[in-house]
Structure 1
Amino acid sequence: MRQLQIRVPQGCGQQVVKIAQDYDASNLIQFEAKDPADPVDVVFLHVSNRRVEGLLEALESIENLAVTLIPRGVMPLHPPIAGAPDQVTEVQPLSPIEIFLGGLQSVGSWRGFLGYAALAGVVVWIGLFTNSNFLLIAAMMIAPFAGPAMNVALATARGDKNLLKRSLLRYFSALAVLIAVTACLSLIMQQDMTTPFMVENSQISSVAILLPLAAGASGALNLAQSERSSLVAGASVGMLVAASLAPPAGIIGMSIPLGRWDMIVNGLFLLVLQLFGINVSAAIMFRVFGVRARGARYDRGTRKLFPISLGLTTVGLVALLILQFSDAPNFQRPSQAQRINADIKEVVANSNLAEFVEGNVRFAQPNISDQNTLLVVVYVQSQEGVDLSTEEIRDRLTGAIQAHILQEDFNVIPLVSVTVLETPDFLENSR
């Protein structure tokens, strides 16, 4: 429920009360008051979240209408007494006008906004440089990307060209600041090689699209939910949005001084993929919750802009996905490595030479041009009853694994190392 304070010219208070009753408002209070100029009527009322915008739209016909909307959930209790439990458990999503205004309020001043972007760049750089997971998480908590991301989606759902331009400007300004800060720190600290975390976070999985889709939907859902019906803090949702954007932006900045164009391309691909994915899912979610081009206290939306913006974003997203899956393994290396590891386990099992213990499959840094080098380290245990030496088992498995990888046309050069582990003697004797 929301509490509204409505001020109208004297004599119009009863009209407000009548309209409010049509919207099932409760605990109405009307009284006469005086503002600095003229006498007025003031009405206090409580109305359910989903009916706020409809009520405001119905009141627009009253001249000199002034409304104060309290953006906090309240629990109005009214007769009958036995109905109190039902009255307080009727928690509903916010009205479209509150979703829209809440998104706008999430945007702070330019100075603070860019300051947080710069600080996030410092923490991202430290995390990637020192291979520290917790610092990357800390950077995601202070990176100010959630506000612009949600406002871009709101502008798409509303069809608001002005808001879309302002939000995109803030979006790319923050990204540019973060990239510039990480690039400058790499120059100042004379970084001359990539770190394992940079390599790991620059690689693109075939399921990378799922993160921005989930981030956009959860961000929109958080803005649409009443605070008493949401079990997830807004900071956590903002962190999820930042998780989609901060690491790729940091990798781009750190790779520029190193001249690692492969990592820059991967970072840019990830960044654009995240931007499109977040906007598609969040804009659709906002429309599901009733955000439209026109509404109470809002009339500058263009109806045709929503399908145009969403269509262009969707086309861009589909184009990126086509590029990702047509350029194997460059844009799906972690997924390819997982699939190859599973295939290796099957090759070992079918060989009847040894038992699979563990496999480590990863792509090496592209130091050799025009070659996707795949490093494969496999540990196996010699199988009981196999009358072959350790060297023979190793050579046969190495050949079988390399042949399978090449036959499956993964577009890689496999460098395979097989280690055959022997069972301890005391276990052999106990058998």
Structure 2
Amino acid sequence: MRQLIIKVPKGNKEEILGLVTEFKGKNTICLSEEKHDVFVLFLPNQKVNNFLKHLDKYEQPEISLIPRGVITLYPPASDSPDQVADVQPKSSLEIYLGGIQSVGSIKGLIGYSIAAGIIVWIGLYTTTVFLLVAAMLVAPFAGPAMNAALATSAGKMPLLKSSLARYGLAIGTGILVSFLMTVIFPLETLTPLMVEISQVSKVAILLPLISGFAGAINIVQSERDSLVSGAAVGILVAASLAPPVGLIGAGLYLLDWEIISSSVFRVVLQLLGIHLAATLVFYFYGKVTPKGVRFLQGSSKMTWFTSSFVVLAIAGMMFWQFSRPPFLRKASMNTELTEELDKALNELEYIEVIGKDVNFTNTRIKGNPTVSYNVTVLPKDTGLADAVLKKRIIDHLKQNIKHQDDNIYEVYQVNIAED
């Protein structure tokens, strides 16, 4: 329920009370003064927007909407549990106005972007994972992401332009800070964490879709109905953006174009995926549509054009990802090739496998991406020389590890353990 305070010209008391009844308002209080009637009333969340539309026929109505959940209790007392449990999503008006109100200052946006850029760079430089989580906490990406989606669902081009500008400012600041940090503390090569983060999975599109969905749901739902805090959802949105943004700055310093291009791919894919999922939630669940919000009058053409552009852009990026293996699928191919390695090793009865690992490197040999197979085994037949045993294992792996791509250069490292 939402509390509203309404002030209309005197003489409309009965009409307003009838309107309140029609929209299931509760616990209404009417106060009269010389020229106006003032009403304090409580409406279900979903009724607020349409109720306010009906007030337009009155001369210059004054409205105060308190965006806080209110528990209303009314007879019969036996229905109180059901009355309290009736939690509805916010009205489309409150969702839209709340998004605009959360824009914040440019100084704050830049300040948090600088802080996030420094923290994520330190995390990448020192290979400290918890610092990446800290950077996600302060990275100001969730606000512009949700506002851009709100703008698309509502068909408001000015809000979309301002949100994209704030997006660009936050991401650009993060990249610049990461680059300057690398200039101050020069890197000669990428750290293991940087290499790991730079690798893209074939399921990379799922993270932004989930992030956008969760972020929009958190905004649409009433605060008493939300099971997850806004800060946690903000981390989820930033999780898909903060690390690759910091990696772009380091890649620019090292002029490592593979790192730069894979990170840019991830950033753009994350932005598009978050935007698409959040727009769908706002449009269909939050009812934020070009004609669905009072005062708005957005453009339906803009909504459909922008949404179509985003869908086509995502389709194009997915086509590019799967048409250029393994450049943009290294993370998932590591798992696939590890499974193939395990199958091949299990066929060898004369060894006991102690450890195995598959990693793509950023080194190109003969112009092809390089994958390294590392195996540690304990021989069951001690009569074989180590050199002979290694050659037999490598020959077996070359013949039995199967993958669809013929442009991968494979190297093998077999270690013989002793008991």
TM-score (norm 2): 0.95
SS for the counterpart of 1:281 is: helix
Q: Distance in 2 between matches of 1:250 and 1:140?
A: 11
- Is residue 243 from structure 1 mapped to residue 239 from structure 2 by the alignment? yes
Partner of 1:166: 162
Whether contact under 8 Å (1:57, 1:295) holds in the other structure is no
1:345 corresponds to which of 339, 342, 347 = 342
Distance 1:43 1:176 in 2: 49
Amino acid paired to 1:411: N
Deviation at 1:347, TM superposition (A): 0.7
1:260 to 244, 256, 262: 256
Structure 2: how far apart are the matches of 1:210 and 1:113? Answer: 27
Letter of the aligned partner of 1:310 in structure 2? S
Match of 1:301 among 291, 298, 303: 298
Is 1:87 the counterpart of 2:83? The answer is yes
Deviations 1:387-431 (A, max 9, x none): 745543322111121233477535311111122435x4xxxxxxx
**Is 1:404 paired with 2:404?**
no
Aligned with residue 207 of structure 2, among 186, 211, 215:
211
Aligned 1:10-89 pairs, distance under 5 A: 10-33=10-33, 39-89=35-85
Figure out how many residues of one structure are paired with residues of the other and give that number: 418
The answer to whether residue 109 in structure 2 is matched with residue 110 in structure 1 is no
Asked if 1 retains the 8 angstrom alpha-carbon contact of 2:340 and 2:402, the reply is no
Partners of 1:353 and 1:393 within 8 A in 2: no
CA 1:147 to 1:318, structure 2 compared with 1: closer, same or farther past 3 Å?
Answer: same
2:57 partner SS: coil
- 3-state SS of the aligned residue for 1:364? strand
Q: Which amino acid aligns with 2:167?
A: Y
- The 2-side partners of 1:302 and 1:353 are apart by 71
Which residues of structure 1 form unaligned runs of 5+?
425-431
Cα shift at 1:172: 0.6
Preserved contact between residue 337 and residue 403 of structure 2 (Cα < 8 Å) = no
Report the Cα distance in structure 1 between the residues aligned to 2:347 and 2:187, rounded to whole angstroms.
46
State the 1:98 CA deviation: 1.4
Residues 392-401 or 261-270, more deviating: 392-401
Secondary structure at the counterpart of residue 240 of structure 2: helix
CA distance in 1, matches of 2:335, 2:395: 20
Amino acid of the structure 1 residue aligned with 2:207: L
Deviation at 1:121, TM superposition (A): 0.8
Matches within 5 A, 1:239-388: 239-289=235-285, 290-366=287-363, 368=365, 370-383=367-380, 388=384
Whole-angstrom CA distance in 2 between matches of 1:187 and 1:322: 36
Per the TM alignment, residue 338 of structure 1 is displaced from its structure 2 partner at its CA by 0.8
Q: Residue type of the partner of 2:409?
A: I
Q: Distance in 2 between matches of 1:296 and 1:316?
A: 28
1:136 alignment counterpart:
132
Contact 1:328-1:410 at 8 Å conserved across structures: no
Matches of 2:14 and 2:162 in 1, distance apart? Answer: 41
Q: Which structure 2 segments of 5+ residues have no match? A: none
Distance in 1 (alpha carbons) for counterparts of 2:301 and 2:196? 42
Matches of 2:69 and 2:122 in 1, distance apart?
Answer: 41
1:60 aligned counterpart, secondary structure: helix
Q: Distance in 1 between matches of 2:124 and 2:165?
A: 27
Alpha-carbon spacing, 1:136–1:406, altered in 2? closer, same or farther (3 Å): same
Q: Deviations over 1:341-370 (max 9, x none)?
A: 100111111233324332111012225461
Q: For 1:246-271, what per-residue CA distance to the aligned partner results, in whole angstroms no more than 9, with x for missing partners?
A: 11111111111111111111111111
Q: What is the distance in 2 between the residues matched to 1:44 and 1:331?
A: 58
2:300 is paired with a residue whose SS is coil
- Report the CA distance between 1:92 and its aligned residue: 1.1
1:160-206 Cα offsets, whole Å, 9 max, x none, are 11111111111111111111111111112223322112111111111
Q: Deviations over 1:49-108 (max 9, x none)?
A: 111111111222211111111111010111111111110001111111111122222211
Contact 1:405 1:414 in 2 (8 A): no
1:192 to 1:394, Cα distance in 2 relative to 1, 3 A? closer
Report the secondary structure of 1:397's partner residue: helix
Compare 285-294 and 139-148 and name the one that shifted more.
285-294
Q: Aligned residue for 2:409?
A: 413
The 3 A distance-change label for structure 1 pair 152 and 369 is farther
Are the counterparts in 2 of residues 153 and 280 from structure 1 also a CA contact under 8 Å?
yes
Amino acid at match of 1:27: N
TM-score when normalising by structure 1:
0.93
On the 8 A contact 1:151/1:164 being kept in 2, the answer is yes
Classify 1:407/1:392 alpha carbon distance in 2 versus 1 (closer, same or farther; 3 Å).
Answer: farther
Distance of aligned partners of 1:410 and 1:53 in 2 relative to their CA distance in 1, 3 Å threshold: farther
2 CA distance for matches of 1:263 and 1:212? 20
Q: 1:428: which partner in 2? A: none
Output the CA distance in 2 between the equivalents of 1:70 and 1:115: 30
- Per the alignment, do residues 56 and 269 of structure 1 end up closer, same or farther by CA in structure 2, a change over 3 Å counting? same
- By how many angstroms is 1:298 displaced? 2.7
Contact 2:371/2:410 (<8 A) preserved = yes
Amino acid across the alignment from 2:31: F
Match of 2:298, as an amino acid?
G
